[in-house]
Amino acid sequence: MEQMKQHLLLVGCPDRTGLVHLITGALYKQGLNIVRNGEFVDRENGRFYMRTEFAGECDYDQVRKELAGLGNEQGTTWMRFYPPRPKDVVVLVTKEHHCLGDLLVRHAYGDLNARILAVVSNHEVLGDLVRKFDLPFHFVPHTKKDRQTHEREVLAVVRQYPIDYLVLAKYMRILSAQFIESFPSKIINIHHSFLPAFIGANPYKQAFERGVKTIGATAHFVTDDLDDGPIIAQDVIPVDHTQSARDMARAGRDVEKITLARALGLVFDDRVVVTGNKTIIFD
């Protein structure tokens, strides 16, 4: 039997009675089959969010007409229809291999729901690793250049590829506001700390000096505020007084790569909605 076409609908609108019935009813009128559905009501702000996977022959324009009454004077309404597909990404790295290596293996075996189009780095260290997976590697050195010049060169390389997301897999450079503005809500970073604790550089050293009993990692969207963008996924592991800052960093690498992979899985499957400085996760 021929498989029906798959579709995805994401909705955000002011909350009111009957929205689930209205939306699912519009799909039912076209004979569409709902495969999975998730809803969330932000009661504090009076907002309703819904993610619906459905199958069949869909006239998006007709469904939009059916749902024209979703909005009201109390707030904005947005609606996104599209067939799900793997996302196209470019990965930025520096010298550390663990997150990149994990992503390359997942990509090679089709576990990432994405196409890694290229890897860009300000060091040559990881070039051989990337080339083993038959992917383009671009070395864009930063030495003897100001940040603006280097970012302009990186941006020129990235723009060669039609990307959906830019992934910072331990890219140990702070991006300027101008660079970030080129990819709004499209840059994903893995930070080696359970944010908002220990932002910035050397978080494992900070954690060791503070004597913490738990360390973690945070995957988040990148904004102008350092390590303060909307959080997608976090995880932690226990540590104790016998572990040095170096021991903590070594243990933290596993948490980092798992957290990044989980966050990317959510984003690439269109399960993440950004609202303000928060995310809604349809898991």
Residue 25 CA to residue 239 CA, distance in Å, equals 52
- Check whether the bond before 238 is cis (ω within 30° of 0): no
Residue with tokens 């196409």: 115
Give the DSSP letter of residue 15. -
Residue 61: partners with Cβ closer than 8 Å, 6 or more residues away: none
Residue 274 CA to residue 280 CA, distance in Å, equals 6
SS3 state at 105:
helix
Active-site pick, 128, 146, 224, 227: 227
Residue 55 CA to residue 83 CA, distance in Å, equals 10
Half-sphere exposure in the Cβ direction for 192 (13 Å, CA): 24
Residue 228: partners with Cβ closer than 8 Å, 6 or more residues away: 195, 196, 199, 277
Q: Is 111 a catalytic residue?
A: no
Active-site annotation, residues:
227
